[in-house]
Amino acid sequence: MHKEKQLLLEESIDKSINGQSFSERSTFGKKELLYFVFQAKQAKPPVCTDEDSLNSPFGSIVFTGNTQRPRTIELFYNKNKEIVPIRFFHDKQFVGEDELTVFLLTELFDESDGDINLFWSIFIDLIQELFVKTVFRAILLGKIKEEDFFDKTSRFFSKDLSEDRSFMDNLNYLKWNVSSIKEDIEKNSLSVNTDEKLIRAIQSYNSVLERILYKRI
């Protein structure tokens, strides 16, 4: 790949990853990041064995949005080497790995003057920068195809669903019942009718799930 194409590719990867937002599905947040730093400053490891910390992630960060597939970052902790191993995933596909030193994290914390929001922002920027470099390297090495990384097609909904009368009826019925339940709650007019709407909503929801490719979730 020519140098110009490489630069364009890296720029596209950067826009794709940095255009996404921190997802509520994440299990690693500000509290966990601070825990890493405080444990390091106290020279005490997190409450888990070396084997556990290397085999099971301490937590994960999920990025979604920007009309891109979700990306996941798993963070581990190696207290003996004082490093934080990181594994990067595009959707569910492993892309590569990297690591941060605990010393670097404590430095970033000190430079942020104890401002957790600033510290978190710097940390996320760093993580995304590593993700960009990892994906760029993976594409060049053929570990992941460029078209797969930028693929925006739905994994759950097929194009013919709009022509499926039964599916559309169930989807509309689900929407109507959920909206009606919301209205009952807002008007404080809950009754046995609301219960019936919930039952119908659940039935419609199950019918919708049976039709889409929900097993891929």
CA 123 to chain CA mean position, Å = 16
E strands, 49-162, in order: 59-65, 68-75, 83-90, 93-101
Beta-bridge mates of residue 115: none
Between 155 and 97, whose confidence is greater? Answer: 97
- What pLDDT, on the 0 to 100 scale, is given for residue 49? 46
Sheet with 59-65: strands ordered across: 21-22, 59-65, 68-75, 83-90, 93-101
Report the candidate in 141, 124, 127 with the shortest Cα–Cα distance to residue 86: 127
Pick from 28-42, 136-150, 181-195: least confident: 28-42
CA atoms 202, 208, 210, 214: torsion sign: negative
CA distance 131 to 90: 10
- Are the C-beta atoms of residues 72 and 62 closer than 8 Å to each other? yes
pLDDT digits (tens, 9 = 90+) for 5-46: 999 999 999 999 999 999 999 999 999 999 888 877 775 555
Return the pLDDT at 129: 96
Residue 177, Cβ density class (10 Å: 0-12 exposed, 13-18 middle, ≥19 buried) = buried
pLDDT category, 79, cuts 50, 70, 90?
confident
Task: Give domain limits for the chain.
Answer: 3-149, 159-216
